[in-house]
Structure 1
């Protein structure tokens, strides 16, 4: 993955622009202080027509959001940046609100709702200033050649990248396919698991301890959580289930390790047992995980732990033979 360098621009910001491809912008940055991201309708710097997000500014101890040259949010954030290691952040633009957070933390440390209605932004820029240089990594690098501004854009052909893996997980001939991903990236038509505690979650799977373990991808966290050994384990590299042909998938009831007809095999345990894609409701929200037939239960990640449930729902394909 490419590393981009920014010079010290002093008090006059000079942004390097990138196209926005998702509702969540993710980046890693290594800088002593004074990191800035702008959100703009185009790839030009017009202070009257953009939002500016400052991280580790004002002598390195504060962060803030600026609109029309006015600071509308400013908080203390000591030691939020480092010139010795990369720090990861996300910016989410959704439902008229801008949220800024640290990777791995579901709650933002800054947010702003524009009373004048949020600008329709399609570009973001990055910069350093006031005596600081920076190095940047952007997980959306693979998308920069695409002209799409979809909230979940990708080329369907990227699913074929899985064929290049030496150690390949189970693959469906149709109707679904596992697409390799990382850092919150999504393929074309990802399969939703339902509404999680921080919004919609998606069916995911990750390689772990010699198996392919089912779990859920949480967009805001940029990772896939899998249930294993009593823990909810975050995986930065994972697979997302996609439904490129838009066949009918449904969640059907199951219990005690049993699965209904048409159940999609979703992975392989560390002992070589077939697993199926299951979900349960925990505290009123959905969590997606693995139905383990020999254990007669469905394991899901929730709240940092692995939870087991005898009753659950299983992802099934309707009216299409399911072969692997």
Structure 2
């Protein structure tokens, strides 16, 4: 509940604008005449909309910047000079609504454009007889925009898990396949390969040699100082999490990736020389050219003696964010301006 503001307004009196952090408010009116509420995108001498209550036995909503743009309804005796009467107003979904407290159906509605970003409200009297209007207004609390602070802990680390070791509580959720999937890595024929862990089966799977190979002993990735970024082919971003190496003589670095497959998000391995992310699914190793790769965001990372800026978080905004570690959608467009470094 917000603050209750009591005020009295007079016709042609200077009005005060209040900034509203919500899309509606509740208020009470006691007046012998008629009351008005102005809605505006910015505080100033003019409002974008005027909501009239009880004006000449009518209530209305009018767009002030248009010559003829008004909706009204007959509301005789809606106000009283003897008692406060309670109303509500809302503006969302491209519709302004005025209603009486306790009634869901509004008195009058008005369709408006999304371009009208209404953030301010003011209260007035619209009566030529110079009668005052007494108001009780329930203003919503001011919501401060939270400050974004860098992560100072939650560094990633690997924990060995086997039949005698309990699964760690700090395990990082890396995907979803009817249930949460976790990121693992395990040794296999000379390689150290990342993959997925399925809790309901109690088994890990790593993609290798065309198959999803079962593992009962493996390491689980823990921590939370990391983020997913869209990636494709062999474009490996700065800060990509190295999870293992291939089985060949050069021991190529393998990175933690994940890809959307059917309705699932499945973690696996990124092998740059193959230009794909391999994921284990239904007993097979599936290759994906478009995928996400896990990175540890750090500023002032250097590669090849050139200073590489940190990734701009604003470029990463999409329909779903990864704050809760359960993003199930990917967008691979408009990411050509990332800074990449190969074979670091």
User: So what's the TM-score if we normalise by structure 1?
Assistant: 0.43
- Relative to total residues, which structure has the larger helix share, 1 or 2? 1
